[in-house]
Amino acid sequence: MASPAAGEVAIIGSGLIGQSWAMLFASGGFKVKLYDIGQQQVTNALEKIRKEMKFLEQSGSLKGSLGAEEQLSLISGCLNIQEAVEGAMHIQECVPENLELKKKIFTQLDQIVDDKVVLSSSTSCLLPSKVFAGLAHVKQCIVAHPVNPPYYVPLVELVPHPKTAPMTVDRTYALMQKIGQSPVRVMKEIDGFALNRLQYAVISEAWRLVEEGIVSPSDLDLVMSDGLGMRYAFIGPLETMHLNAEGMLSYCDRYSEGMQHVLKTFGPIPDFSGATVEKVNQAMCVKVPSDPEHLAARRQWRDECLLRLAKLKRQMQSQ
Ligand code: NAI
């Protein structure tokens, strides 16, 4: 059995992301209380977690040192928010992406928590200064934004409110590392945090290249999946620069003029509508028809790829 010393965590909202967090915390030996507004949601979540953990164990991909049954025994459902957070050292909010709803949850939590627990939101794009506005426990608040599917993609962006205590950031950073995630510190809040800013930069140039008839939608995706993406799974854009010349200084010396020349030709922000959206949609639907079955099957394949990639990354890191 896990050492009870690992601590207790409360998850608020047992949907897709809440389930993933529950599994990750259990993999680190933490006792998890999964809170939601209805019995059905909690029951469904616990069933999905059981199925997923059994699958992971069978395929040799279960995280942590405990077996699936031991990890499952650490997770329980809860329909009372006060009970859910009692004894918790970390609360991870995972309710739908709606500012008013998140504010309501944090206001409720603000009234029942002590001054030690960390209050963390999974929000993808709401700014901490909005989500945690006016809370008495604001020093203990932080955004910990995971990437879908969090069990296979370890990055977590930590984004503080301007009044978040450094200790809150440090504790959350250490906790994320403990459960095998890969935290990054976003020093100051900014729309899109870091990940979505990079993602949107890529999406917008992809869109412009297709819109202008430079490449087809399917070839555009190949540029990433069989080109840039191959190395980006292991090294980032800055290290790529460093390695693609005799170090960073040599890269900037050699290529900065060329990069600036190309960057000046970038077009305006696309509106993602009209003929281009039809063209892109048609191409995507040829590859993956947009009915729920085909989409689900393709997502499952994607997750299988990510799972194997995660294994490879672990092997490569240990070399
Ligand atoms: P979801 O819709 O799958 O789950 C939300 C859960 O919250 C549901 O089980 C719902 O019953 C519950 N809920 C609703 N009102 C509640 C309340 N008042 N108290 C407690 N529980 C309540 O949503 P999902 O995808 O899990 O997203 C959760 C958060 O994670 C959002 O902020 C989202 O932006 C963020 N996120 C989502 C990612 C994704 O790809 N789905 C990736 C990274 C972050």
CATH number of residue 263's parent domain: 1.10.1040.10
Please indicate whether residue 11, judged by its CB atom, sits closer than 6 Å to ligand 1.
no
Three-state helix/strand/coil letters over 43-54: HHHHHHHHHHHH
Inform me whether the pLDDT recorded for 1 exceeds 60. Answer: no
Q: Are residues 43 and 147 in the same domain?
A: yes
Q: What angle do CA 294, 298, 303 make, to 5 degrees?
A: 150
Please indicate whether residue 156, judged by its CB atom, sits closer than 6 Å to ligand 1.
no
- Tens of pLDDT, residue by residue over 243-268, are 999 999 999 999 999 999 999 999 99
Mean pLDDT for 142-147 is: 98
User: For atom 15 of ligand 1, which residue has the closest CA?
Assistant: 95
Q: Are residues 133 and 265 in the same domain?
A: no
Ligand 1 center to 261 CA (angstroms): 43
Please indicate whether residue 13, judged by its CB atom, sits closer than 6 Å to ligand 1.
yes
Ligand 1 center to 293 CA (angstroms): 22
Mean pLDDT for 168-190 is: 97
- Tens of pLDDT, residue by residue over 78-103, are 999 999 999 999 999 999 999 999 99
Q: Are residues 150 and 257 in the same domain?
A: no
Please indicate whether residue 157, judged by its CB atom, sits closer than 6 Å to ligand 1.
no
Q: Is residue 297 part of a domain?
A: no
Q: Are residues 83 and 8 in the same domain?
A: yes
**Sequence-ordered alpha helix ranges (H) in the chain:** 16-27, 39-58, 68-73, 81-85, 99-112, 128-131, 166-178, 195-211, 217-223, 229-232, 237-243, 248-263, 274-287, 292-317
How many separate domains does the chain show? Answer: 2
ipTM confidence: 0.99
Q: Is residue 316 part of a domain?
A: no
Containing structural domain, residue 199: 195-287
Please indicate whether residue 95, judged by its CB atom, sits closer than 6 Å to ligand 1.
yes
Distances (CA, A) of 265 to 12, 41, 213: 46, 49, 15
Instruction: Out of 126, 160, 185, pick the residue that ends a domain.
Output: 185
State the DSSP string of 154-202: -EEEEEE-TT--HHHHHHHHHHHHHTT-EEEE-SS--TTTTHHHHHHHH
Ligand 1 center to 95 CA (angstroms): 4
Q: Are residues 169 and 277 in the same domain?
A: no
Q: Which atom of ligand 1 is nearest to the CA of 19?
A: 26
User: For atom 9 of ligand 1, which residue has the closest CA?
Assistant: 15
Q: Is residue 77 part of a domain?
A: yes
Ligand 1 center to 72 CA (angstroms): 21
CATH number of residue 77's parent domain: 3.40.50.720
Instruction: Report the share of the chain in percent with pLDDT over 90.
Output: 95
Alpha carbon 154 to chain centroid, angstroms: 7
Q: Are residues 168 and 209 in the same domain?
A: no
- Tens of pLDDT, residue by residue over 29-72, are 999 999 999 999 999 999 999 999 999 999 888 999 999 999 99
Q: What single-letter amino acid sits at 201?
A: A
Q: Are residues 45 and 150 in the same domain?
A: yes
Return the closest-CA partner of residue 22 out of 7, 36, 34.
34
pLDDT score, position 318 = 76
pLDDT score, position 4 = 47
Q: Are residues 85 and 200 in the same domain?
A: no
Q: Are residues 145 and 238 in the same domain?
A: no
Q: Which atom of ligand 1 is nearest to the CA of 105?
A: 18
Ligand 1 center to 35 CA (angstroms): 12
Q: Is residue 242 part of a domain?
A: yes
Q: Are residues 221 and 266 in the same domain?
A: yes
Q: Are residues 207 and 175 in the same domain?
A: no
Q: Are residues 177 and 146 in the same domain?
A: yes
